[in-house]
Chain A
Amino acid sequence: MATRRLKVNGNRERQEGDDRERRRIKSTAAMRDLMLKYYMEAKAAEGTEKKIAWITSGGPVEPLICFDVIPVYPENHGAMCGAAHMNVELCEVAEGMGFSRDLCSYARGDIGSAVTKGGPIGGLPRPDFLVCCNNICNTVLKWYEELSRFFGVPLYIYDTPFVRGPLPDHTRDFAVRQMEEYIAFLERMTGKEFDEHRFLDVAVKSFAAISLWAQILSCNTARPAPMTCFDAFILMAPIVTLRGTQEVVDFYEGLLREMRQRVEEGIGILPAERRRLLWDNIPIWYEMRNLGRLFMELETCLVADTYTNAWTFEGVDPERPLQSMAEAYTEVYLNINLERMSDRQVSLAEKFQVDGMVMHSNRSCKPYSLGQYDLAREFTRRTGLPVLIIEADHTDSRWYHRTEVEGRIRDFVENLL
Chain B
Amino acid sequence: MEEELVNQCVRLWEEPLSHMARIREQGGRPVAYFCSYVPEEILHAAGLTPVRLLGSMRTITHADAHLQAYCCSVARTDLDMALAGELSFLEGAVFVQTCDTMMRLSDIWRRNTGFPFHGDLVLPVRMGEEISLPFMVREVGRFRRQVEEYLGSRLEDEALWESIRVYNRNRALAEEVYRLRRENPGLVDGLSAAAVLTAGFWMRKEEHNALLERFLEAAREGVPEGEPAAVQLLVTGSVCTTPDLYRLLRELGADVVDDDLCSGHRYFDCPVEDEGSPEEALAARLWRRVNCPSKHQSLEDRATRLLTQVKESGAQGVIFYLQSFCEPHLFDVPYLKRKLQEEAGVPSLVLETELQSFSRGQLRTRLQAFIETIAGV
Interfacial residues, chain A to chain B (CB-CB below 8 A):
97-100, 102-104, 107, 134, 137-139, 141-143, 145-146, 148-149, 155, 157, 159, 161-164, 168-171, 173-174, 177-178, 181, 337-339, 361, 363, 366-367, 369-374
Contact B299 A148 (CB under 8 A): yes
B99 to chain A, nearest CB (A): 6
Q: Given A100-B352, A170-B135, 20 other A-B contacts at CB below 8 A?
A: A98-B333, A102-B327, A103-B330, A138-B98, A138-B103, A139-B327, A145-B331, A157-B125, A157-B126, A161-B122, A161-B135, A169-B138, A170-B138, A171-B135, A173-B134, A174-B124, A339-B107, A370-B71, A373-B67, A374-B66
Asked whether B152 is an interface residue with its Cβ less than 8 Å from the other chain, the reply is: no
B126 to chain A, nearest CB (A): 5
Residues of chain B lying within 8 A (CB to CB) of residue A164 = 120, 122
Asked whether B85 is an interface residue with its Cβ less than 8 Å from the other chain, the reply is: no
Contact A138 B99 (CB under 8 A): yes
Q: With A161-B123, A164-B120, A361-B68 given, is the CB distance from A145 to B299 under 8 Å?
A: yes
Contact B97 A162 (CB under 8 A): yes
Contact A141 B104 (CB under 8 A): no
Residue of A whose beta carbon sits closest to that of B294: A138
Residues of chain B lying within 8 A (CB to CB) of residue A138 = 98-100, 103, 125, 294, 327-328
The 8 Å CB contact of B134, one of A137, A142, A170, is A170
Q: For A104, A145, A169, A372, which residue has the most chain B Cβ atoms within 10 angstroms?
A: A145
Q: For B101, B120, B335, which residue has the most chain A Cβ atoms within 10 angstroms?
A: B335
Asked whether B142 is an interface residue with its Cβ less than 8 Å from the other chain, the reply is: yes
Residues of chain A lying within 8 A (CB to CB) of residue B120 = 164
B291 to chain A, nearest CB (A): 11
Q: With A103-B330, A148-B299, A149-B335 given, is the CB distance from A373 to B124 under 8 Å?
A: no
Bound-state CA distance A168–B143 (Å) is: 13
Contact A170 B330 (CB under 8 A): no
Bound-state CA distance A134–B334 (Å) is: 22
Bound-state CA distance A134–B132 (Å) is: 14
Q: With A161-B124, A337-B107 given, is the CB distance from A102 to B132 under 8 Å?
A: no
Residues of chain B lying within 8 A (CB to CB) of residue A338 = 104, 107-108, 111
Bound-state CA distance A47–B340 (Å) is: 33
The 8 Å CB contact of A149, one of B101, B112, B293, B299, is B299
Residues of chain B lying within 8 A (CB to CB) of residue A169 = 138
The 8 Å CB contact of B331, one of A142, A174, A367, A372, is A142
Residue of B whose beta carbon sits closest to that of A168: B142
Residue of B whose beta carbon sits closest to that of A369: B68
Across the A-B interface, the 10 shortest Cβ-Cβ residue pairs: A98-B334, A142-B331, A170-B138, A370-B104, A366-B100, A174-B135, A338-B107, A100-B330, A367-B100, A371-B104
Asked whether B65 is an interface residue with its Cβ less than 8 Å from the other chain, the reply is: yes
Q: For B68, B131, B335, which residue has the most chain A Cβ atoms within 10 angstroms?
A: B68
Q: With A102-B330, A142-B331 given, is the CB distance from A161 to B101 under 8 Å?
A: no
Bound-state CA distance A264–B348 (Å) is: 66
The 8 Å CB contact of A155, one of B65, B112, B138, B299, is B299
A115 to chain B, nearest CB (A): 12
Residues of chain A lying within 8 A (CB to CB) of residue B352 = 100
Cβ contacts B90-106/A at 8 Å (1 or 0 each): 00000001111101110
- 54-92 of chain B: CB within 8 A of chain A: 65-68, 70-71
Residue of A whose beta carbon sits closest to that of B135: A174
Bound-state CA distance A415–B174 (Å) is: 61
Name 30 interchain pairs, CB-CB below 8 A, sorted by A: A98-B337, A99-B334, A100-B330, A100-B352, A102-B330, A103-B330, A134-B125, A138-B98, A138-B100, A157-B125, A159-B126, A161-B125, A164-B122, A170-B134, A170-B135, A171-B135, A173-B135, A174-B134, A337-B107, A338-B107, A363-B68, A363-B70, A366-B101, A367-B103, A367-B104, A370-B68, A370-B101, A371-B108, A372-B68, A373-B67
